[in-house]
Amino acid sequence: MRLFREKLQSQNVTSDVKHFEECEQLFTSVGGAYTVVALLHYFGMETLEDSPHQHCPPCDALHDDEDKKAYLDKVLDEFVSEYLTPSKQISESECDELNEDQQLDRVREYSLCLMRLFFILADFKRAVKLGNSDRLASLHKILLKHFKSDGGYNSYAIEMLISILQNEVFLTEAQAHQTRWASTANFKGGQNNLEIDLLQENINCELKKGIKGMGANKTSKAIKRLSMAAGGIMEIVNTFDLATGIKAKSSSHSHKSSLKDDNTIISDLLRVKPFETIDGRQHEGFPDASSDTLSTLNYDAFHEWLKRHKRNLLKHGPLDLCSDDEDEMV
């Protein structure tokens, strides 16, 4: 779409890891817009200001909170089943047998795939924010298949497998509980958790400032002493700033509102009508798009990959998983 290209060009987004945040923001905006358009299609609405023409609530449900909740639970469950749950896919041979007037709508397939991936990302970010480590552990099992379905992410698949095996097999119940619930940190209360490795990066940044301030007095002993006291120093500084009314220059990154861009994306999608089935419609760049997010996963090869790691674990132990260089791309 035109807006996507303009945003990518204006931000000069490349595959560099430094641009991950920009890519994530763009994908979040696009995924949210697709979700809004899917809901409009589900309720039979042409615009955001339109009234629902399908799945309308019964009159009595609007006056009782319990009935309203039951109605919302029912229609949203149906929405999830229709738009977010992969259905049986038509194989390529079956697709070839279809008449020209019955070709798959690849634009709709692509739209469903994008929206499902968006919900996985949103679920993961929400689990981190809430500090719900049990949910994060479940998402690791989902992400294992997704990473393994793309040969370029085998190393991430290995990380997911190690995390799952530690929690389910190698650690005791107490150790697994501690490992899961130590993956996020929260120092402000509320739903403001962040990843523990991100917190460590912030502490390392402050530690580097302290080491730089030592000047010529840097010694191994002094650096070790500073490392042990880094957390306490940060707490003292924060408490002093709070007591004296000194405001931090920047407590968090601020971003320009994306509401205008989001509305533009929604307007473009309403013209495209991505969730209406139109036989033979497809994108020029990826004509074989599939709504199944795991359509590229070779399950036979995936099971062999798991068996190979199981044999290595039984033979060498959990610290000697086989190298990804030995893995065949799935």
CB crowding 111-135: b at 16 or more within 10 Å, else e? bbbbbbebebeebbeebbebbbbeb
| pLDDT higher than 80, residue 323 | no
Distance separating alpha carbons of residues 262 and 28, to the nearest angstrom: 10
The domain limits of the chain are 2-87+98-131+186-297, 132-185+298-330
Q: Tell me the per-residue pLDDT of 225-279, one tens digit each, with 9 for 90 and over.
A: 888 887 788 788 888 888 888 776 655 555 667 788 889 999 999 999 999 999 8
User: Per-residue pLDDT averaged across 135-152, rounded?
Assistant: 91
Distance separating alpha carbons of residues 270 and 43, to the nearest angstrom: 14
- Identity of the amino acid at 163: S
Q: Tell me the per-residue pLDDT of 40-57, one tens digit each, with 9 for 90 and over.
A: 999 999 998 998 999 888
Decide if 132 contacts 183 (C-beta within 8 A): no
User: Per-residue pLDDT averaged across 89-103, rounded?
Assistant: 53
What is the pLDDT, as a whole number, of residue 8?
45
The residue among 121 and 150 whose pLDDT is bigger is: 121
What is the pLDDT, as a whole number, of residue 74?
92
Burial of 211 (0-12, 13-18, 19+ CB in 10 A): middle
C-alpha triplet 31, 34, 38: angle, nearest 5°: 140
Cα Rg of the chain, angstroms? 25
What is the pLDDT, as a whole number, of residue 151?
78
Burial of 40 (0-12, 13-18, 19+ CB in 10 A): buried
Task: State the average pLDDT for the chain.
Answer: 82
Strand, helix or coil at 289? coil
pTM: 0.78
